[in-house]
Amino acid sequence: MPHGKVLVAQGGGPTAVINQSMAGVVLEARKFRNVELVYGAYHGVSGIIKEDFLDLTQETSHNIEMVSGTPSSALGSTRDKPDLRYCQEIFKVLKAHGIGYFFYIGGNDSSDTVRIVSEEARRADYPLRCIHIPKTIDNDLVGNDHTPGFPSAARFVVQAFMGANLDNAALPGVYLAVVMGRHAGFLTAASALGKKFPDDGPHLIYIPERTFSLEKFIADVKATHDKYGRCVIAASEGIHDSQGNPIITQLTRQVERDAHGNVQLSGTGALADLLCDEIKRKLGIKRVRGDTFGYVQRSFVGCVSDVDQREAREVGEKAVQYAMWGDRDGSVAIKRTGFYSVDYQLVPLESVAGKARVMEDEFIAPGGTDVTDAYRLYLRPLLGSGMPDTYRLRLNRVDKILNPSK
């Protein structure tokens, strides 16, 4: 094992458990005598470029443990998407500081950054071990059964829809909520696990893996409302038409775009408002309400899966073990081995970087607006312990006296 300094960074959207992975790296790395110092990059790769490092060797183990249970990214994050030149600057900084081990916690873009930096180090014949640690609430990293951050966000979505369904049953109407996930429907599909009784919502679930038709959507809502006298809908932010265009572009001319020119899917309530307006206008239903869960589902303090916490810690620890005892760079992947157990593997960076997973067909019901039991079995153990339950009164009605025929 070569001597050197360790650098850990966090990238992309924060999650409820990303600090567990950071803690796993820091505490595990400090066990090895060949590790000189452990640094944390402040605000991800942008912090590396600025040489903005924190010396985590000086942090107490107790405080690291306390921070590990705190949601969001304690080291700060960034939305930078490094290209080759950017990664060359990253490598220049790592080399100047004598970094021998680079750990980057993040999703698809982060894994690609690790891949490029790894190639730069190899080209320069510099001894640098580069390990990507998985993290994303979208659950769209290939090669993983699931990704840390997703189970806790899914737990939030499940409980939010449980509450929304109860509210909608008390005051019937149409309720629609837009859920994160970009081009993968895993998080939106989690709403299905909030159902207990046959008439519970969400009654309709719309995900990016199936083409969205506005006409069919209106027909689905009408049929459901006619059947139950109400309708609860879960819609992914990434729903699109047959041409792959985000649905929001069909409903408004003024579309917000991000710094990279992509349609802004998160951080705006426009899609929910526009779909609700369509329902009101075409069906004439008066009580139509819409929500956008938005960023609250990423780092919600009171809704963290203990399974998610444990696995997020372990991928950080395993990353260090692979780096110290292994002979190659890679990405840590979670593999399901039973019901319920997991194991970890180090997979090639090329197999993860720049790729995106979507929901498998076996998880999607034939009609396209519900999930299968296979998905329920897949997700249920990830939600963790202590999930709440709901109950309802039995409707033992009393006979009417004044108007018995009504």
Enzyme catalytic residues: 138
309 and 385 Cβ atoms separated by less than 8 Å: no
CA-closest candidate to residue 54, choices 44, 66, 65: 44
DSSP string, 305-346: -HHHHHHHHHHHHHHHHHHHH-SS-EEEEEEEEETTEEEEEE
Give first-to-last CA distance, the chain, whole Å.
82
Q: How far is Cα 13 from Cα 82, in angstroms, rounded to an integer?
A: 16
Q: How far is Cα 198 from Cα 170, in angstroms, rounded to an integer?
A: 16
374 and 143 Cβ atoms separated by less than 8 Å: no
State the DSSP code for 111.
Answer: H
Residue count (the chain): 406
CA-closest candidate to residue 343, choices 307, 297, 388, 311: 311
Residue in the structure block whose two tokens are 């194991």: 343
DSSP string, 17-39: SHHHHHHHHHHHHTT-TTEEEEE
164 and 308 Cβ atoms separated by less than 8 Å: no
Residue in the structure block whose two tokens are 């993968």: 184
> Residue 162 contacts by C-beta under 8 Å, 6 or more apart in sequence?
194, 388, 390
CA angle at 168 for the pair 266 and 279, rounded to the nearest 5°:
60
**Strand ranges of the sheet holding 341-347, from the earlier edge strand across to the other edge:** 53-55, 35-41, 4-10, 99-106, 129-134, 330-338, 341-347
222 and 283 Cβ atoms separated by less than 8 Å: yes
Q: What share of the chain is helix, strand, coil (3-state, %, to 5)?
A: 40, 20, 40
